[in-house]
Amino acid sequence: MANKVYFTTFKTTGAENLIQKLHRLMKTAGFEQIDFEEKYAAIKIHFGEYGNLAFLRPNYAKVVADYVKQLGGKPYLTDCNTLYVGSRKNALDHLDTAYVNGFSPLQTGCHVIIGDGLKGTDEELVPINGEYVKEAKIGQAVMDADVFISLNHFKGHEMAGFGGAIKNIGMGCGSRAGKMEMHCEGKPRVDESKCVGCGACDRICAHKGPEIANGKAVINHDKCVGCGRCLAVCPKDAISSSFSDSIKMLNYRMAEYALAVCKDRPCFHISLICDVSPNCDCHAENDIPIIPNVGMLASFDPVALDQACADLCNQMPVTKGSILDEQLSKNAEEGCCHDHSADDCGCGHTHGVDHFKATHPDTEWQSCLEHAEKIGLGAREYELVKI
């Protein structure tokens, strides 16, 4: 039997605003089936990079937090630090950014806890014995929760195709070392033009991976275990990860990390398809949406939820002037028939069917859902229940 995904549009009436509608969606989808009494409930959300304005409004987070408290639970908002250099690379900067973007206790009704601690090294090793991941490195504060709730902004992504429930859970809950494992071979590199040879990386490493030679740091990959601590302490941001694996490998590992987060405890997933920017909210900017707003969805199955979101997005018209519109126009100029009603015109391009693949042609988002279904995270077949 197909798992149910509950859906409602952003259309409102004088009798019900969007806040009330989200609450009704959650209730109809079975939120009250979860035992929240005296339970810690992690609400995983993306707080948005500083400068980005496409992230979910904190009002939506308050709906979820208030509902958890109404049912006797103890909610908190959480996300893990980023692997890249930005406004969320450590807990202090991350909290500053969250508060600037409106995610303070006064506005959301609950506290913010950064999942993997001050420097991205507070993690729990979760054994899953997957095809690609044997032990997932998940933020400790995420794993400490009794109940896990994902509140996702569904949007495009330059590597994964789109960012939905699985990416919010898998990539978002990985510690710095976990993110390195998903993204790449797990070994950092040094930009010698930025390195000042201070030795901070050498002092923090328990495995003697960094070595100072001729006034510059070099990472010995034979000794490095990919923990990511050197990234956290470098005062010049000279150390970064090497993104060397294929997109499919990223998706496979991300799905297995999502399984590590969700297994053995109650989970509930919410996705809002609005302000569908072409790139992740990790960007310090956001371009105009590639499609109009679609609606709000909820399910106990993150795989079915992501599939339903992708299907609904691909039924929407393309926003004129967006990156997606420009990409399709470029295809047409190169000799494509540009028939938006056709699945494939024979030139190798898709038209109006897979908006995310058209926006970022190198992405492979379907491989993520295929692998997620294979490992038992959920099912791609779903029943869309409109409310």
pLDDT at site 373: 98
Which residue in the block uniquely carries the two structure tokens 């070994």? 187
Q: Has residue 89 got a pLDDT over 80?
A: yes
Is the pTM above the cut of 0.85? Answer: yes
Helix axes 365-374, 247-262, angle to 10 degrees: 40
Q: Has residue 266 got a pLDDT over 60?
A: yes
Q: Has residue 264 got a pLDDT over 60?
A: yes
Q: Has residue 245 got a pLDDT over 80?
A: no
pLDDT at site 223: 86
| Confidence tier at 186 by pLDDT (50, 70, 90) | low
DSSP state at residue 248 = H
What is the pairing mode between strands 382-386 and 3-8? parallel
**What is the side-by-side strand order in the sheet with 382-386?**
111-114, 74-79, 40-44, 147-153, 267-273, 295-299, 3-8, 382-386
- Rounded to 5 degrees, φ, ψ at 378 are 175, -165
With a pLDDT cut of 70, the percent of the chain lying above it is 93
CATH numbers and ranges of domains, the chain: 3-183+247-386 (no CATH), 188-241 (3.30.70.20)
What would the pLDDT profile of 295-354 be if each residue is shown by its tens digit?
999 999 999 999 999 999 999 999 999 999 999 998 777 765 444 434 444 333 344 569
